[in-house]
Chain A
Amino acid sequence: MVDLAPYRAVLASRIRAQRSHRASFRLDLGSSVLVGFVELAEIAVLFLTVDRLGGLDLAAIVLVFGIADMSFSLADMVFGHCDNLPTYLKAGTLDVFYLRPQPLLAQLVTSDISLRRLARAAVGLAALVAGLVVNDVAWSLANAVLLVLAVVSGVVTFSAMFVWAGGMQFFLVDGYEATNAFVYGGRYAATQPASVWGRPLVVVFGFFFPMAFTAYLPTLTLLGLPGSDWLPGWLGWFAPVAAVWAWVLALASWRTGVRHYQGGGG
């Protein structure tokens, strides 16, 4: 049995720390909620001029957004500070993690937890519920299973993206923004109707980084929509396969990165 007590102690201290600067923490939470609204508005604004975009109407897009945003926020809460890796690498403080008898990735994941991500996830959940209400979903056991599968696979897939990016940081260091293109670009892609993408985008965000599988395809399946040639509606059931593939990528990248690391010279 793995002893989880050290992880628990660290996380509890992190949570207390975040709540100590109250004014900033409240502003932080408020801002996180606002981020969610702004990102939804960003897409909703487009529907002022058009009724349908890539075969989806506003109601369907709200559902896509809800699933994608909630999954991403939850993944971000747990794995998001893999983003701090370049800072540790540059300061040489990553070596400290190597001194402790715990796996590196497990330490990184539990080194911090961002409470404000919960506020973010709440916005996603609200959009998800609103999406389920305004859409004409034919409720059945199969569809309920599909929805749960989609959210769980989405969280797992987005988590894999953070770990993939983490592995790349060992090579990129200062060039960390390049991975943002796929992690945060991926989040943005996941909230779009993927049917508007050209072939190269389908390859990159449809399959290689399986962003279309996190929300768009499950929504098609749930609403019984046909989809496009390369991304047909029934593919929504394959979200768990996409999540497994994402972790294959993530672990390959992470192992390569960790093996490449030569230490901070300390």
Chain B
Amino acid sequence: MRPGAEDLVTEAPRGISRRVRPALRTYARLLLAGFRRGSRYRLAAFGGLVANATFGLLKVAVLFAVVEAAGGEVSGYDLGAMSAYIWISQGLLGSVNLMGRSDIAERIRTGDVTTDFLRPLDVQAAAVVEDVGKSLFALIPRGIPTVTIGLLLVGMDGPDGPFGLLLGAVSLLLGISVSCCTVYLVAVAGFWMVETRGLQILYMVVSGFLAGLFVPISLFPGWLYGVAVATPFPSMLQFPVDVLSGRADHGTSVLLIGVQAAWLAAVAALGQGLTRAGRRKLEVQGG
């Protein structure tokens, strides 16, 4: 137990609010800092938008051909639902981290993380919160315009009423958080491996496919679908897309959000455990 944690327990409940509130304010500031950091790279956001829109159009061509060849519907996807799947998933690419890269990975590799451990903040929470902030910003220059392009050029299904939109927003926030926490796991592997590049690429390949980036996971054969839902990856992209596009009704949406929350708790707890173990293992190269 860290020094100070004991008082925190004994002084409850007044003590908790006195200690936790300033900490929460710090994390809120980090979230905002991440958001503002994202806003500095406007040209990058534009580049991402061009890429998302181009891939979106290519996917429309091939997946619409599949729906039409299958007689207007495939695994519950008609043209409107397929379009929504394509454009929402492309739009979320700037926000959901399926690349596996993070700043904290570089800090662990170079040993800069030692400075982070000296700060009166939780290393995991600080890294994840800042990433979530950056991801949320990306919705403005990339997420919304990509979906708008799809809406104007192709047309698509939308959320199931205002409550559906609200559920979609919750599901999206959870999806972003699950992805940031899972990418953090790739980064902390750096406490044990000198170079995490291979692991990062493995994450990139597996996450995109199982998150439903290339084709909706309900098109997978049964065994592969089983593999996908046994991982946190569908919680990052496929579930938020299903909720936002109205493909999942309200009841199913609540269920999907529950699954996402469970995965978030699991990957966050694992990250916390690995951070503590890694702190004891930490070995700074050349230091």
Contact = CB atoms under 8 A, between A and B. Distances in A.
Contacts, number: 128
Nearest to A21: B195
A49 interface: yes
Interface in B188-215: 193-199, 201-202, 204-206, 208-209, 214-215
Q: How large is the interface on A (under 10, 10 to 19, 20 to 34, 35 or more residues)?
A: 35 or more
A88 to B, nearest CB: 17
Contacts of B133: none
Contacts of A21: 194-195
Interface in B25-66: 41-44, 46-48, 50-51, 53-55, 57-58, 61-66
A182 B54 contact: yes
Contact of B199 (A27, A45, A52, A176): A27
Contacts of B48: 177
A178 B41 contact: no
B198 A46 contact: no
B220 A174 contact: no
B45 to A, nearest CB: 8
Given A31-B201, A46-B219, A188-B58, A53 B65 contact: yes
Interface string B246-265: 00000000000000000000
Interface stretch (A33-41, A98-106, A138-146): A33-41
Contacts of B43: 172-175
A170 to B, nearest CB: 13
A37 to B, nearest CB: 9
Given A24-B194, A50-B69, A198-B61, A188 B55 contact: yes
A26 interface: yes
A24 B205 contact: no
B57 A200 contact: yes
B: interface residue count bin: 35 or more
A192 interface: yes
Contacts of B47: 172, 174-180
Given A25-B198, A31-B198, A52-B69, A181 B54 contact: yes
Interface in A39-78: 41-42, 45-46, 48-54
Contacts of A49: 66, 70, 74-75, 219
A192 B44 contact: no
B245 to A, nearest CB: 19
Contacts of B195: 21, 23-24
A30 interface: yes
A31 B205 contact: yes
A196 B47 CA distance: 26
Nearest to B63: A46
A32 interface: yes
Interface in A155-204: 172-182, 184-185, 188-189, 192-193, 196-198, 200-201
B4 interface: no
Contact of B70 (A26, A27, A50, A200): A50
Contact of B197 (A28, A34, A53): A28
A177 B51 contact: yes
B221 interface: yes
Given A28-B198, A35-B205, A49-B219, A185 B51 contact: yes
A198 B64 CA distance: 11
A181 to B, nearest CB: 4
Given A24-B198, A192-B62, 7 more contacts: A21-B195, A24-B197, A42-B215, A46-B62, A51-B69, A181-B51, A188-B58
9 shortest interchain CB distances as A-B pairs:
A27-B198, A177-B47, A175-B47, A181-B54, A178-B47, A175-B43, A196-B65, A24-B195, A28-B198
24 contacts: A24-B193, A31-B205, A38-B214, A45-B219, A46-B62, A46-B219, A48-B221, A49-B66, A49-B70, A49-B75, A50-B66, A50-B74, A53-B66, A54-B65, A172-B47, A173-B43, A175-B44, A177-B48, A179-B47, A181-B53, A185-B55, A196-B62, A198-B61, A200-B57
